[in-house]
């Protein structure tokens, strides 16, 4: 297995502000609730996903991150879009501009289980009951997902 890309970059540039590519995956249950994870680094909620490694495509990164964080096997079903977070911070001095590629996915296997290193809790939430979310891109992705589905349900034409 290759060395973690971010650890390698950080060893070269220290705490300099960097740009990274990430994924986020919207998984909904039969009730239309979205799966969120309570992050261990900031105690806020976010979508399953994470940073892309050099040896994978963005789709492979999305599938891998969901598996690592949730233990679920997924099939990506739709590309939602690219979202930007100009100031993401994981630790006190580890900050970056993040470009997040967002997808919807269908669960095809596995059993939901928390990754103790990254998550404190996993839970499905209705749109009206969303907890505090950890980043602007997460908020925008969830809003885009629900707005798109509302338009499609109401039979209107979506013009992007």
Model confidence band, residue 96 (pLDDT cutoffs 50, 70, 90): confident
Give SS3 for 58: helix
Give SS3 for 75: strand
- Give catalytic status of residue 121 as yes or no: yes
Model confidence band, residue 160 (pLDDT cutoffs 50, 70, 90): very low
Does the pLDDT value for residue 9 go beyond 90? no
Residue 95's pLDDT is 74
Least reliable range by pLDDT among 65-69, 101-105, 148-152: 148-152
Determine if residue 66 is left, alpha or beta; phi over 0 gives left, psi from -120 to 50 gives alpha, anything else beta.
alpha
Tell me what the mean pLDDT of segment 107-112 comes to. 96
Q: How far apart are CA 134 and CA 102, in angstroms?
A: 16
> Are β-strands 95-110 and 72-89 bridged in parallel, bridged antiparallel, or unpaired?
antiparallel
Lookup result for tokens 């996903």: 49
> Are β-strands 18-27 and 95-110 bridged in parallel, bridged antiparallel, or unpaired?
parallel
Q: pLDDT tens for residues 50-64?
A: 989 989 999 999 999
Which homologous superfamily does the CATH classification assign to the domain defined by 5-153? Nucleoside Triphosphate Pyrophosphohydrolase (3.90.79.10)
Give the active site residue among 68, 121, 128, 129: 121
pTM of the model: 0.85
DSSP for 82-137, please give it.
Answer: EEEEEEEESSSS-EEEEEEEEEEEEEEEE-----TTTEEEEEEE-GGG---BS-HH
Q: How far apart are CA 5 and CA 127, in angstroms?
A: 34
């Amino acid at each position: 297995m290759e060395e973690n890309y971010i650890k390698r970059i950080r060893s070269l540039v220290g705490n300099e502000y960097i740009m990274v590519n990430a994924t986020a995956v919207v998984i909904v249950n039969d009730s239309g609730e979205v799966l969120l994870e309570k992050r261990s680094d900031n105690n806020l909620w976010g979508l399953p996903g994470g940073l892309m490694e050099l040896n994978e495509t963005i789709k492979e990164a999305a599938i891998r991150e969901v598996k690592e964080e949730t233990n679920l096997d997924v099939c990506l079903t739709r590309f939602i879009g690219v979202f930007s977070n100009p100031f993401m911070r994981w630790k006190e001095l580890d900050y970056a501009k993040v470009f997040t590629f967002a997808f919807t996915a269908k669960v095809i296997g596995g059993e939901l289980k928390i990754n103790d290193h990254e998550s404190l809790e996993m839970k499905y939430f209705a749109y009206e009951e969303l907890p505090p979310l950890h980043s602007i891109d997460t908020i925008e992705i969830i809003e885009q997902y629900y707005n798109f589905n509302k338009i499609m349900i109401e039979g209107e034409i979506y013009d992007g």
